Structure 1
Amino acid sequence: MFTLMEAVAAVRLYVDLSTILVAMSTCLLTYMYLQRHKNLPPGPPTLPILGNIPYMAWIYWKGSTFPPDTLYKLSQKYGDVMTMWVAREPYVIISGYETIREVLVRRAEDFSSRKVPPTVVKFMLRNSHVQPNSNAVPRSIVDTRGDGTSAKAAKGVLFAEYGQDWRQQRRFALKTLRDFGVGKRSLEGKICEEAAALSQELVAKDGQPFNIKHLMQNAVSNIICSIVFGKRFEYGDPEFLWLIEVLNDNVNVKPSEDLLANIHPALRHLPFGSPEQRKLAKSTSKLQTYCRGQIETHRETFDPNDIRDFIDAFLLEQQHGGGDQTQTGFTDKQLQEVHREIDSVLGQAVPSYALRDKMPYTTATLAEVQRINSAVPIGVPHSPSRATTLNGYTIPADVSIISNIWSVHMNPQLFPEPDNFNPGRFLDQDGNFVKHEALIPFSVGPRVCLGELLAKMELFLLYVSLMQRFTFHLPEGAPAPSPEGNMTALINMPHPYDLCALSRG
């Protein structure tokens, strides 16, 4: 029988350091794999530690570059409730109208919280000078200390956990937006003023090709600036151009730090970061510094009897204790029908949101644009408020729930021939606009997009104003714009392309 010393000697003789490391790594991988959540919904095959990353890389290599469509096709194999693993982090993907409605509407109390990505939390707290374990967190809707140091204030209404704080913030935001005319004629003046400025820019192009994305972004951003900051900018204003650049840096960044953290949490604290992480940190800091400057300027001239904009409304609340989503083909016949309807209803009159019921084809056209190229085809992740079940599967409280809006809008059972642009699907036999319950570009449930009504007003008034004054066509010999989506973070932006705008006289 071996003595202990003989056993140790045998191990030293036959086992070297590399063998020990391989054995330890194998044990660690096996342990981590077995520690995963049990009874999660099905999904594609996974690898220990890496999860579905190699599988998704293979799908991408095969040519599928639009994530919402990839997830939609996977849901047809694995079901409307499936699990994707990003390294060690599970994501539950819900697809299909009935499933999304079940989760976000009928069971909103269970699924309306947020799981904020570690990268987002770190940048929020870094730029608000708050430590993650800070106990000095006021319960009010805003940071009542007025110095931007509240952890809850840093999360804001988008990332706040589902509960009383979130309800207060959302209630305040909706009330303030209504007070500033969202959904009313009082805001139409601002939008139509911006449409006139945009039209002047198009006239100056004199029919030459240009990228309309930048001008549309300027117009939409200016409307939001007028509500938040109380002023609009000239398109060539250096301050405005700088602000647009910073906003674009925030929207277009694709951080990879969460991927490292998913492989192992300790990797989140590496002293270096990717260029994308540094870009996000820098642009976030710039934007928050700019907003703090605007708040201080407003504080110096604040008059509680003259609430000028959203910032003033926040300052008043302290005393008491979006824009990309409106930016994404048509046939000549469809464009001519839009022109005909606008000419018939408006003539040369200033467009009004109240007239949309008299313009069913134009309204249907905009609905079809939002269906076939959703601005946010994958919803902002939700998280269960508590551990629960869905379709017989266990859904832990710490799992991200991602709704694939694209799977609803491209479902042929809901929208026949979904790849075809057809405004007629939103019209009845008499040519009246018919709202389709499965058209959900702003999501559904309690956390439906806060700016939905503002976005609808902007989209209708800007589109009608431009179509009233211009005809648009591609430059001679230019290829048609790519119909495939172009995801940047959660936003589906159009691929760059040029247009020519000719005045209709």
Structure 2
Amino acid sequence: MLVEAVIVILSLVYLYFTFRKPPGLPPGMWGLPIVGKFPSTSVRFGDQVKALRPRYGDLISWRVGNRLLIFLCNQQLIKRALSKQEFTDRPDFSTFFTYAQGGFHGVIFGNGVKWQIHRRFVLRHLRNLGMGKSKVELDIQEEAVHLVEDFKKHTDKDETVPMSLGVAVFNVIWKMVAGTRFRMDDQRAHDLVSMVWSINDTFQGPVTLFNFFPWLENWSPKWLKEKLGLKDLQDLSGELFSIAKEYVKLHEDKHEPNKEGDLIDQYLSAMKEEENEDSILSVKELLVVVLDLFVAGLETTSSTLRWAILYLAKYPEIQRRVQREIDNVLPRGTKPQYQDRAKLPYFEAVLNEVNRISSLVPLGVPHMASQDTQLEGYIIPKGAVLLPHLECSHKDPELWEKPDQFYPEHFLDAEGKFVPREGLMPFAVGRRVCLGESLARVEIVVFLAALLQNFTFIAPEGEPLSTENDPKEFSLNSPKPYRITIRERKSEVEK
């Protein structure tokens, strides 16, 4: 009896010291030992955090399981926090490790010196390959031509947005990474696009439980891992990893050192030059970098374009106004260019409003405190997960006249000129700002302008379009699948 009593006392002492609230923590939700305070599954996590702002302010702590989450709910606070070196790391989430093949690899979920070297390498060589220059814009324009031709095959039908939209976006980054592209109707390309969309869906499901309870993965039986989606994430990331390996192997077989080529060629050349025991460059790192580029490069841009088509179909008067502006600036048959946006203020306002209202990554990509760090007078303990609540800024009533409405006039002055707004952060900010931002901006402008030159998007009769977000979505606001009617525009200018 005495032994049992001692075990109980020691267990209680362990729970107290392990799960007691650290001093100096921002106010928020602490919850019970071990489990913390679980968010509701019927309301988006981000919306639950927004509801706490009147009570706790813009810096909110919330413990879920073994993880302490710190939400940054103010534009200036987000910028200050994410500029700190101490908040640069990614957390050791189970889903991140599964995707990145068991470690802090690549440019999305990598950490430390290895991440810094790979980020600099990728950014430098993507720029060398044309990112931010006219060369890559020519490739985007060519993909836009193929995209328009494929959309013509889908006119006057009630169906989902054609898969070619994803293929066009994928081709742009894949040509830079692997030196090749796919036809719009290539089934393998469709399968790749579907896998990327599926892996992002899996990231947001019950598999996130493994992130909040790090011990759960080692103790879970196989059937539980399957039920919670960890097996699906392993299978999907493994399949995409195998595809990356296939293309890297093809490059290795025909590689010529110091030959200018795509990003894979350049990485292999750099590996050869730095071939020693201490080299950070490796085939495994290259494989995860390739995986990162076609997952991140495809999902965010294609989802933004699908949101844009959805909102334009839902608000036909806005779509007509955009088309009139495009028709007046770009005669039919003229290929849109990124620089044209300077003459298309309403079009640019619409694009920015799509980014604001959809808030594609509402809670940003998680960061982690690498050491105890002061922020706004509070102590953010080592290991805490920081979530920049971008949607709070995007829908802050103090920053936006109509925060919950699709209102392009947010980005127009009294004379109808485009005006950028500081509260918009679609590509995040700080040390880990999206490295493909310049590429994504060009793609969105060129692809959407080309589509609006040639087509009108209409809600199917009797099927009202919904722009509501899915409550289960934690990290990505992808539009729910929707049906659309694509109508080809025949006249040169439609008033």
TM range (shorter): 0.7 to 0.9
1:243-284, Cα deviation, whole Å (9 max, x unpaired): 223323321114656635744737634452422111111111
Equivalent residue for 2:393?
408
- Contact persistence 1:353–1:457 (CA under 8 A): yes
In the aligned structure 2, how far is the partner of 1:421 from the partner of 1:339?
Answer: 17
Equivalent residue for 1:346?
330
Q: Cα distance 1:432–1:238, how it changes in 2: closer, same or farther (>3 A)?
A: same
Matched, 1:156 2:140: no
Matched, 1:116 2:70: no
What displacement does 1:408 show?
Answer: 0.2
In the aligned structure 2, how far is the partner of 1:100 from the partner of 1:283?
Answer: 33
- Give the unaligned 5+ runs of structure 1: 1-7, 127-150
Equivalent residue for 1:391?
376
Q: Cα distance 1:428–1:90, how it changes in 2: closer, same or farther (>3 A)?
A: same
* Identical residues among aligned pairs (%): 31
Name the SS for the 1:92 alignment partner.
strand
Equivalent residue for 1:334?
318
- Contact persistence 2:326–2:344 (CA under 8 A): yes
- Contact persistence 1:470–1:504 (CA under 8 A): yes
Equivalent residue for 1:167?
116
User: Mean Cα displacement is larger for which, 455-464 or 331-340?
Assistant: 331-340
What displacement does 1:26 show?
Answer: 5.2
What displacement does 1:31 show?
Answer: 4.6
Name the SS for the 1:90 alignment partner.
strand
Equivalent residue for 2:215?
265
- Contact persistence 2:469–2:477 (CA under 8 A): no
In the aligned structure 1, how far is the partner of 2:331 from the partner of 2:210?
Answer: 58
What displacement does 1:454 show?
Answer: 0.9
- Contact persistence 2:154–2:162 (CA under 8 A): no
Equivalent residue for 1:484?
469
Aligned ranges 1:288-437 → 2 under 5 Å: 288-304=241-257, 306-321=259-274, 322-326=297-301, 327=303, 328=307, 329-330=311-312, 331-348=315-332, 349-437=334-422
User: Mean Cα displacement is larger for which, 256-265 or 298-307?
Assistant: 256-265
- Contact persistence 1:409–1:438 (CA under 8 A): yes
In the aligned structure 2, how far is the partner of 1:480 from the partner of 1:248?
Answer: 21
Name the SS for the 2:438 alignment partner.
helix
TM-score (norm 1): 0.83
In the aligned structure 1, how far is the partner of 2:211 from the partner of 2:317?
Answer: 52
Aligned ranges 1:10-29 → 2 under 5 Å: 29=15
1:404-459, Cα deviation, whole Å (9 max, x unpaired): 00000000111111111111121222222111122101111121011111111111
Number of residue pairs the alignment of both structures matches: 454
Name the SS for the 2:300 alignment partner.
coil
Letter of the 1:112 counterpart: T
In the aligned structure 2, how far is the partner of 1:266 from the partner of 1:279?
Answer: 16
In the aligned structure 2, how far is the partner of 1:22 from the partner of 1:443?
Answer: 47
What displacement does 1:501 show?
Answer: 1.1
In the aligned structure 2, how far is the partner of 1:165 from the partner of 1:261?
Answer: 23
Equivalent residue for 1:68?
46
Equivalent residue for 1:79?
57
Q: Cα distance 1:214–1:25, how it changes in 2: closer, same or farther (>3 A)?
A: farther
Letter of the 1:259 counterpart: L
In the aligned structure 2, how far is the partner of 1:302 from the partner of 1:195?
Answer: 31
What displacement does 1:377 show?
Answer: 1.3
Matched, 1:452 2:427: no
Letter of the 2:142 counterpart: E
Equivalent residue for 2:35?
50
Q: Cα distance 1:168–1:21, how it changes in 2: closer, same or farther (>3 A)?
A: closer
1:361-417, Cα deviation, whole Å (9 max, x unpaired): 111110000000021111111122321111221111211111100000000111111
In the aligned structure 1, how far is the partner of 2:100 from the partner of 2:454?
Answer: 43
Q: Cα distance 1:104–1:282, how it changes in 2: closer, same or farther (>3 A)?
A: same
Matched, 1:473 2:473: no
Equivalent residue for 1:496?
481
Equivalent residue for 1:89?
67
In the aligned structure 1, how far is the partner of 2:300 from the partner of 2:210?
Answer: 30
Q: Cα distance 1:497–1:84, how it changes in 2: closer, same or farther (>3 A)?
A: same
- Give the unaligned 5+ runs of structure 2: 275-296, 491-495
In the aligned structure 1, how far is the partner of 2:154 from the partner of 2:319?
Answer: 21
- Contact persistence 1:258–1:268 (CA under 8 A): no
In the aligned structure 2, how far is the partner of 1:20 from the partner of 1:445?
Answer: 50
- Contact persistence 1:249–1:279 (CA under 8 A): no
In the aligned structure 2, how far is the partner of 1:213 from the partner of 1:483?
Answer: 21
